[in-house]
Amino acid sequence: MILYHGSNMIVEKPIASKGKLSVDFGQAFYVTSDYDQAKRWANQVKLRRSSGTAYISEYEVDDKAFEMLHVLRFEKANTEWLRFVADNRRCIYNGEKYDVVFGPVANDNTMPVVNMYINGFIDEEYAIKKLLPQKLKDQYAFKSDTAVDLLKFRRAIICEK
């Protein structure tokens, strides 16, 4: 499988513990199978940090390698996904530790709904009803050194807007 990471720098050797804490699946190295999603991430990071060049780092990972890891998979934005994202975004998740978490990414279109849920303005049922029609891209959060070591760097691509 080919996965992509968007940033303002080339990342040949990812480190799980360098990621932000208050994001969808917690501290991890994030990649996606969607090239365009990685491109958006790269351009956003470059703008946010006001430095570097927008790059997509491309990796290969053997699908069978996931069988050796402790993996949490969300097939869609459901109640369990919403709770997990909310807890991680509030930095209060204290459940099971995973090597990899896979599922939909909470993007600019979904964050208002997720934030309204986190802040108690809407309940789970209403939040899920609002999230279901969204065509959410995927994300893989590589949370352990064992998991990150499975990513084989292939190349870096400069993003053209």
The pTM score is 0.92
- CATH number for the domain spanning 148: value is 3.90.175
Task: Annotate 62-75 with DSSP letters as a single string.
Answer: -GGGGGGS-EEE-S
Q: Please tell me the total count of domains within the chain.
A: 1
Q: How many CB atoms lie within 10 A of CB 128?
A: 18
Q: Which two tokens stand for residue 17?
A: 């513990």
pLDDT digits (tens, 9 = 90+) for 108-141: 777 888 889 999 999 999 998 888 777 788 999 9
State the average pLDDT over residues 61-76.
Answer: 93
Q: Are the CB atoms for 141 and 18 separated by under 8 Å?
A: no
- Dihedral pair phi/psi, residue 32, rounded to 5°: -140, 160
Among 15-19, 99-103, 104-108, 122-126, name the most confident range.
99-103
Expressed as residue numbers, the domain containing 114 is 2-158
* 29 in Cβ contact with 16 (< 8 Å): yes
